[in-house]
Amino acid sequence: MNEKIISIAQTFISKTPEKEAYLKNFFHLLHGFDQDSQKKLLLLIKVLNVFSNLRYFKPINRISEIKRNKLLHAIYNAPISKLRGGVNGLRSLCLLAFYSMDENRASIGYKV
Amino acid sequence: MTQKLEKKYDVIIIGSGAGGGVVADILSQKGLKCLILESGAYRKAEHFNQKEKDMSAIYYNRGAVFSKNMHIALAATNAVGGSTSVYTGVSFRPPKDVLESWKTEHGLSFLSDDFVNDTLDYFDKDLSIHELPESAINQNNTYFKQAAEKLGMKVKKLKLNIDNCSGQGFCNLGCTINAKRGTLVVQLPRAIKNGAELVHHANADKIAENTVYFTVRKAKEGVFENSLESGSYVAHAHTIVLAAGVLHTPAILLRSAKLLTLKNPNIGRYLTIHPAFNLHAVNKDKISNYKGFPKAYYIDQFSDKEGYYLETSFYYPGITAKNIPCWGEQHAALMAQYDHMMSIIILSHDKALANNRITINKKGQPVIEYTVSAETKTSLVKAIRKAAEIFLEAGCIAFRVPASRQIIGLTERDRLKDLIHEKYLDFAQTPLSTAHPQGGCRMGISDKNSVVDDNGKFWGSKSIYIADASLFPTSVKVNPYETVMLLATHVANQILK
Ligand SMILES: Cc1cc2nc3c(=O)[nH]c(=O)nc-3n(C[C@H](O)[C@H](O)[C@H](O)COP(=O)(O)OP(=O)(O)OC[C@H]3O[C@@H](n4cnc5c(N)ncnc54)[C@H](O)[C@@H]3O)c2cc1C
């Protein structure tokens, strides 16, 4: 799961986060959500992986950045509203996890 | 096993936000023995650190409780002080036309000019409500004003309830120096001094006449020792005041349906949310918007005809990143210029409709059912276009906003109508945010179309009152906390009678 999260986050953020620290923050934030939302987000990652396997015969963390981006965009524009909303939810969490880390806040010019 | 609290209380107040805090303050000043049950933690200035990874824990679901259709992300606080512990302190009196319609169409005749003005004059003093001095106005606000005025718009100054603000920037993560005046800082400490008891981490599960069933969790954070151990409790009082906010007050009532033999079909209904988008744009100039007070100006000239307000705003990096509706290189390039960013929040007025409501799931947790109307959608798109005009006039060179599919810059100035369009607005992809939910237990003079009477008393009940934002019969159209405090004052006065 961790590899999949990192690969998806990388596509959203367009940067390679420091893996361990990023995952720690990702799960710290995720655990602040209610049980239902946590389950849905983790399930979505699994669903995205299934789509990747079906389309590219490889798990989502083993396809190229370009293919992952295409896949995420395809789901983000899917006719099922809950899927579009789900991708946005995951996008938000990935971005929040990255930009709420001290070193990343500093790198974009935020000064405490 | 449920333990019974032997102590007798005059009043048990559920929730310590804008409504509950005011009721506790007024009643304890008059010598009534109050017990305040608050489900969140007790954090004070020294616990706030302006870091969203820590402070987002103040909110339910990290600040985004999604509606069932995922079109709305609602921010509500789970902490002592309720949403007043994180609000920005923008202080609006309820508009005259709204009060007039509440009086004439909903029978709230107690809202006389004298009552409204006296009460709000009192809050002006108690909460230090005033306009910011020119010296405290930051660049985002200055650019907003100059640009909007160049475009012929009338810019007004906001009133704020701050005292000795040091301009740390991120009010919505809690104030580290208690500059923001809310129930956390003003009313609750006074109520406690006057004998009110506060139990935090105490979640009201169900209520019955004169009775509250609640659960106390072990406190992980908070300065104060909790007066009760973790466990299940039942407490009794002459009066019960529900002030758990728009999300939870209807949910508590619905969970208590059997105990209260509820028949009122209006519970949870007529929810309005003051739908909003936070917009960000990169300016050609460096802007230290994350310093100084984030909000100083607003524009209301489009309120009557087009149904929206524009206000200045600013947000911390994670939320800003979430608000920019794209990802990948484009997103990273915009975020890299965080220190050049301007920000505007658009707020649309939504109608109170019966089908928009709070209901509960099988676990008894609140569920938001809300469909954005076509009218609101049109108004939002117009507001985004107007904000875009201001950004461009202010010297912004690039932004990505909801209802558009591309980065917009100076060369697109004449094409805003085509580039920002309803056909591109998908609330699943770019959900609305709301920090101003209202209604759900509307006040009125008939149980046919309301949940409480004009004293705030639950229809058919002897002992249960409501005193929070869920009372609003319709949207108040402006930032709501002053109106919540106004109605809570009235309800407290009725309890005293
Ligand atoms: C980020 C943000 C910024 C805002 N900025 C402004 C602003 O600038 N100006 C303005 O006018 N308004 C603003 N608001 C809105 C304003 O804060 C609210 O309208 C107001 O606080 C609502 O008051 P309330 O009493 O209804 O609910 P709240 O203040 O939310 O209080 C409800 C309380 O009940 C508690 N509770 C819930 N369920 C239970 C339960 N079962 N048992 C015990 N306790 C429970 C909650 O933890 C909470 O503390 C803002 C809100 C937010 C979230």
Q: Pairing mode, if any, of strands B9-14 and B231-242?
A: parallel
The token pair at B191 is 């109520």
> Does residue A43 fall inside a structural domain?
yes
- Residue indicated by tokens 């981490």: B201
> Does residue B363 fall inside a structural domain?
no
User: Per DSSP, which regions of B91-146 are E strands?
Assistant: 130-131
Q: How many helices (H) and strands (E) does chain A have?
A: 6, 0
Task: Mention every residue, 6+ apart, whose C-beta is less than 8 A from residue B420.
Answer: B381, B384, B385, B388, B401, B403, B404, B408
How many domains does one find in chain A?
1
Say if CB B42 and CB B77 are below 8 A apart.
no
pLDDT at B221: 65
Q: Does B167 reach chain A within 8 Å, measured CB to CB? A: no
Nearest-angstrom CA–CA distance, B32 and B360: 33
For helices B481-496 and B18-29, give the axis angle rounded to 10 degrees: 30
pLDDT at A89: 94
Q: Please indicate whether, in this complex, the C-beta atoms of A81 and B338 are within 8 angstroms of each other.
A: no
ipTM of model: 0.95
Nearest-angstrom CA–CA distance, B400 and B224: 45
> Does residue A53 fall inside a structural domain?
yes
CATH code for the domain in which residue B377 is found: 3.30.410
Q: Please indicate whether, in this complex, the C-beta atoms of A95 and B331 are within 8 angstroms of each other.
A: yes
Partner residue opposite B335 with nearest CB, options A91, A99, A111: A99
Q: Does B64 reach chain A within 8 Å, measured CB to CB? A: yes
Say if CB B388 and CB B362 are below 8 A apart.
no
> Does residue A67 fall inside a structural domain?
yes
Taking alpha carbons only, the member of B54, B88, B345, B434 closest to residue A100 is B54
Distance B481 CA to ligand 1 centre (A): 8
Chain A with chain B: Cβ pairs closer than 8 A: 110
Interval A98-105 mean pLDDT: 91
Distance B120 CA to ligand 1 centre (A): 19
pLDDT in tens, A60-99: 999 999 999 999 999 999 999 999 999 999 999 999 999 9
Q: Does A35 reach chain B within 8 Å, measured CB to CB? A: no
B418 and B488 part of one domain: no
> Does residue A94 fall inside a structural domain?
yes
Nearest-angstrom CA–CA distance, B86 and B103: 31
Domain that holds residue B194: 2-61+75-128+173-271+438-496
pLDDT at B306: 96
* DSSP line for B150-219: HTT---EEPEE-BSS----S-GGG--TTS-B-STTTTHHHHHHHTT-EEESSEEEEEEETTEEEEEEPPP
**Mean pLDDT of successive 10-residue stretches along chain B, which has 497 residues:** 90 98 98 97 88 88 93 96 95 97 97 98 96 88 97 97 85 90 96 96 96 91 76 97 98 94 92 97 88 89 96 92 96 95 96 97 96 97 98 97 95 95 96 97 96 96 97 97 98 97
How many domains does one find in chain B?
2
Domain that holds residue A57: 2-105
The token pair at B416 is 């805003």
B151 and B109 part of one domain: no
CATH code for the domain in which residue B89 is found: 3.50.50.60
> Does residue A111 fall inside a structural domain?
no
Q: Please indicate whether, in this complex, the C-beta atoms of B331 and A85 are within 8 angstroms of each other.
A: no
> Does residue B367 fall inside a structural domain?
no
> Which residues on B lie below 8 Å from A81 (Cβ)?
69-70, 428
pLDDT at B222: 60
Give me the residues paired with residue B457 across strands.
B465
> Does residue A18 fall inside a structural domain?
yes
> Which residues on B lie below 8 Å from A96 (Cβ)?
52, 56, 62, 318-319, 321-322
The 10 Å Cβ neighbour count of residue B343 is 24
Residues of chain A above pLDDT 70, percent: 98
pTM, two decimals, is: 0.95
> Does residue A110 fall inside a structural domain?
no
